[in-house]
Amino acid sequence: MFAFGRRMVDNFGWRFLFLLASVYFCVKGLVYRISYAAFLPYLRHKLGVDDATRYQSLFTVCLLPWSLKPFLGMISDVLPIGGYHKRWYIQASVVVGVIACVLLAVAPVGEVAGGVLAAVLFSFLTAETAASDLLVEGMYSEKMVAVPESGSDMVTTVWSLYQAGAFFAAIVVAGVADQDPANFFWVCLPIAAQLTIPVGAGWLGETRVVGGFRRDKVSANGRYFALGTLMGVAAIGLGVVSLWASVLTQAVYSIVVSVILCGLSLWWLPPMHGRAHVYMFLTTALNANIRGALDPFYTGDAKCNPSGPHFDLRFYLSWSAAVGSVAGLAGIAIFQLFLARTWYRRAFWTTTLLQVAAGAMDILIVARVNLRVGISDKAAYLLGDSIVQDVVIMMDTMPQIVLLSKLCPPGMESVVYSLLAGCMNFGAAVASSVGSLAIDRFGIRTPADGTACTFDNLGWLIFFCHVCLPLLTVPLTFVLVPAAKMTDDLLASADDGRGYELATKHSGADGGASWGGDPAEPDTWIAPDAPGGAPPLLPPTGDGA
């Protein structure tokens, strides 16, 4: 552990590592996980949103800022503020997050459109996490490419910080779970605000650039910007239909725009990049989110679910999450020990199969099989959702993040990373939207009048959403994921060197040659069919596929 930490400091510097802690331990670990836990008591108990499909639709809105990453990535890359591409955008996101915390804590949001305003404010709080996550991802992706021998060390560090933050978030939630849900946001307020300090101190490590709108980047990377714009518009549209349209309309909209975006990714982007887009999208979209059905099943009282588990909020939101965060750290360790230097394809299909097996535990609990064999509901839930599931989720997430980071070319980290991550995040929003329709079609009902809820087909719903659909991604692993190891330099090997090419050649100030859309920023990258000279030779990969 000491050697690992020493290596990280030597490769990336202690100031940048402190900033990572501020973002991933504090904001993404604590603030996001506390607000995520707050959604159930705030919407169902404080605002009275009892209908399972409506609850699910409002939850979809909370996920949408993750899908808007391409918008922010593009804007930050082409329009630096005060000479910085990232600093002031992060600071703006902090302001948005702080305002959302204050309003959720003190404003009568329940009086506005039956939870609509609350869902929008939850999404604003998520926006701080998504923005800071994206812009720091761009920086650490750049650093990973510059130090390829570091392998997955950076990703391991980032996700370890996040899981540690999630663990402490669970402890905090235990203290406020039975109180007014507004207290969740009083806790989040100072933690959300602290990010302004290391960012303002310049520990992000950005180089100051010439200000002004970078039209050259837009023209040189038109397909990336067009795809990112369409994805952002699609995400906003999904938010609109989630708030005001039927669940069928939501699902139809999601599927149609998904087909369009996947087709454009394969058509417009370099082959390896386009296939990665589609895979990242499908691997999340085909794991339909059914939180609107599972939350009331596990936490419903005797009137709603007479024979159910009847978990209290402290156990369901806190102690199980704490166990899950420890399990997530175990998943990171298992990945680092056994999968960090293996083939991408092997990592993806293996973890998908394990995730499907772990998800089946919910089916056993719903069927009450665990009680018949002498295992309590809490023990079964911890074993499935909180231990095995969290281990497998992290083992599946880690190779995804490594793949995303290794496909980011220098100079366009925010745009390329945001597009890749945006596809995955939009897939999660689509999974939640499709989950709303699935909940409705499988007949899950949670009446607001206190009568018994209907969970007769919940087992089949879980089987369809968490077993059948995810299994469809296994054969796609061998079609859409590169045949490479996680230690390979994907930019050098992508399509025999034509996965990415540099832009037009310019004369440097010293009379030499520099590459890119602007001599002041020589690492602007463009699609391979754009005009321009041949790129310089890239360093050879040390471990070929």
Residue 505 within any structural domain of the chain: no
Residue 358 within any structural domain of the chain: yes
Average pLDDT, the chain: 80
Using the structure block, give the residue that is written with the tokens 């597009």.
419
Residue 510 within any structural domain of the chain: no
Residue 160 pLDDT > 70, yes or no? yes
Mean pLDDT over 170-176 rounds to 90
Containing structural domain, residue 378: 9-207+222-488
Q: Would you state the pLDDT for residue 461? A: 94
Q: Would you state the pLDDT for residue 412? A: 61
Mean pLDDT over 141-170 rounds to 79
Residue 539 pLDDT > 50, yes or no? no
Q: Would you state the pLDDT for residue 307? A: 87
Instruction: Name the pLDDT band for 516 (thresholds 50, 70, 90).
Output: very low
Query: How do beta strands 505-507 and 513-515 pair?
Result: antiparallel
Q: How many Å is the Cα radius of gyration of the chain?
A: 23
Q: Which of 40-49, 121-130, 209-218 has the highest mean pLDDT?
A: 121-130
Mean pLDDT over 345-363 rounds to 82
Instruction: Name the pLDDT band for 101 (thresholds 50, 70, 90).
Output: very high
Instruction: Name the pLDDT band for 517 (thresholds 50, 70, 90).
Output: very low
SS3 81: strand
- Asked if 486 and 344 touch (Cβ cutoff 8 Å), the reply is yes
Residue 507 pLDDT > 70, yes or no? no
Mean pLDDT over 380-401 rounds to 74
- Looking at per-residue pLDDT, the higher value among 537 and 378 belongs to 378
Q: Would you state the pLDDT for residue 25? A: 95
Strand partners, 502: 525
Instruction: Name the pLDDT band for 440 (thresholds 50, 70, 90).
Output: very high
Instruction: Name the pLDDT band for 495 (thresholds 50, 70, 90).
Output: very low
Query: How do beta strands 525-526 and 501-502 pair?
Result: antiparallel
Instruction: Name the pLDDT band for 56 (thresholds 50, 70, 90).
Output: very high
Q: Would you state the pLDDT for residue 151? A: 61
Q: Would you state the pLDDT for residue 246? A: 92
Q: Among residues 266, 296, 285, which one has the least CA distance to residue 444?
A: 296
> How far is CA 133 from its chain centroid?
9
Q: Would you state the pLDDT for residue 38? A: 93
Task: Provide CB contacts within 8 A for 413, sequence distance 6+.
Answer: 137, 138, 139, 141, 142
Residue 544 pLDDT > 60, yes or no? no
Residue 379 pLDDT > 50, yes or no? yes
- Looking at per-residue pLDDT, the higher value among 184 and 330 belongs to 184
Q: Would you state the pLDDT for residue 129? A: 94
Q: Would you state the pLDDT for residue 42? A: 92
Please count the other Cβ atoms lying within 10 Å of the Cβ belonging to residue 543: 12
Residue 493 within any structural domain of the chain: no
SS3 485: strand
CATH value at residue 361: 1.20.1250.20
Residue 382 within any structural domain of the chain: yes
CA distances, 455 to each of 294, 462, 492 (Å): 10, 11, 52
Residue 312 within any structural domain of the chain: yes
Residue 437 pLDDT > 80, yes or no? yes
% pLDDT > 70, the chain: 83
Query: Does the global pTM surpass 0.75?
Result: yes
In total, how many domains does the chain have? 1
Mean pLDDT over 311-326 rounds to 84
By mean pLDDT, which of 191-195, 237-241, 267-271, 520-524 is the weakest?
520-524
Q: Among residues 54, 488, 392, 527, which one has the least CA distance to residue 244?
A: 54
